Amino acid sequence: MPQIIPAIAEDGSLYRIEKMEAHRRGVLHLAISVFVFDGDVMLVQRRAASKYHCPGQWANACCSHPHWEESAADAAARRLREELGCTLPLHDRGETTYRADVGGGLWEHERVTLFRGDIARGDLAFDPNPDEVSEVRWASVDALRAEAARAPETITPWFRIYLERWEGLGVA
- Ordered domains of the chain (ranges, CATH): 4-169 (3.90.79.10)
Q: Vertex 29, ends 26 and 32: CA angle to 5°? A: 120
* 110 is an active site residue: yes
Q: Catalytic one among 62, 63, 83, 86?
A: 63
- Other Cβ atoms less than 10 A from the Cβ of 125: the count is 10
What span, in angstroms and rounded, lies between the C-alpha atoms of 9 and 139?
37
* 62 is an active site residue: no
148-161 tens-digit pLDDT: 999 999 999 999 99
Tell me the pTM. 0.96
Query: How high is the pLDDT of residue 2?
Result: 83
Query: How high is the pLDDT of residue 129?
Result: 97
Nearest of 45, 41, 150, 64 to residue 114 by alpha carbon: 64
90, 72 contact by CB (below 8 A): no
Query: How high is the pLDDT of residue 90?
Result: 98
Q: Catalytic one among 54, 83, 86, 110?
A: 110
For the segment 104-115, the average pLDDT, to the nearest whole number, is 97
33-73 tens-digit pLDDT: 999 999 999 999 999 999 999 999 999 999 999 999 999 99
Mean pLDDT of the chain: 96
- Is the per-residue pLDDT at 99 higher than 90? yes
